[in-house]
Amino acid sequence: MVAMFRIAAIVILIAFALDLSGTCLSAEPRNFTPQPATGLASWYAHFSPGIRETTANMERFDDRQLTCAIWDVPFNSLIRVTNLDNGRSVVVRVNDRGPAKRLVRQGRIIDLTRAAFTKIADLRKGLIRVRIELLDTREA
């Protein structure tokens, strides 16, 4: 009985840790809505804390590619991300899940790779106001 309780506690802790890190094991989005949205975007790179070698769809992570992490859009979908401060935009492909849930609650809607972020803003900005628009939904 004690062993089963310990196993259940470990499973709950692992599930909680995965949710806090912003990692999603499911390839299926929960609340897919193709409407344009505005919010904050950040960038991540291979040297960022907590970044794994593979993305949520099991591709090798490459911060030189024009890809992104977003929660509720199917993998391989194309999204136009427009910087609301300067009007510059980039088209990215969804291959990861994020930002971390605690950051989503603070207004962050998408994480861009380093390469994608540099197309629309200076990396030193860190966070920028963006509009995202779904261009194409592809099979995962």
Which tens digits make up the pLDDT trace of 96-137?
Answer: 998 888 888 889 999 999 999 999 999 999 999 999 999 987
**Whole-angstrom Cα distance, residue 72 to residue 69?**
10
Residue 117: the pLDDT is 97
Residues 79 and 92: their CA atoms lie apart, in Å, by 5
Q: Residues 92, 79: contact at Cβ < 8 Å?
A: yes
The domain spans of the chain are 2-26+33-136
Alpha carbons 63 and 50: distance in angstroms, whole number: 14
Confidence band (pLDDT; 50, 70, 90) for 19?
very low
Q: Looking at residue 73, what is its pLDDT?
A: 92
Q: Tell me if 116 sits within 8 A of 69, measured CB to CB.
A: no
How much is the mean pLDDT over the chain?
80
Q: Which fold has domain 2-26+33-136?
A: Barwin-like endoglucanases (2.40.40)
Q: Determine the residue type at 52.
A: R
pLDDT of residue 14: 44
Q: Is pLDDT at 58 greater than 50 in this prediction?
A: yes
Q: In angstroms, rounded to a whole number, what is the distance separating the alpha carbons of residues 98 and 68? A: 9
What SS3 class is residue 13? helix
Q: Check pLDDT > 80 for residue 32.
A: no
Cβ(52)–Cβ(22) below 8 Å: no
Whole-angstrom distance, CA of residue 83 vs CA of residue 108: 14
pLDDT digits (tens, 9 = 90+) for 59-75: 999 999 999 999 989 99
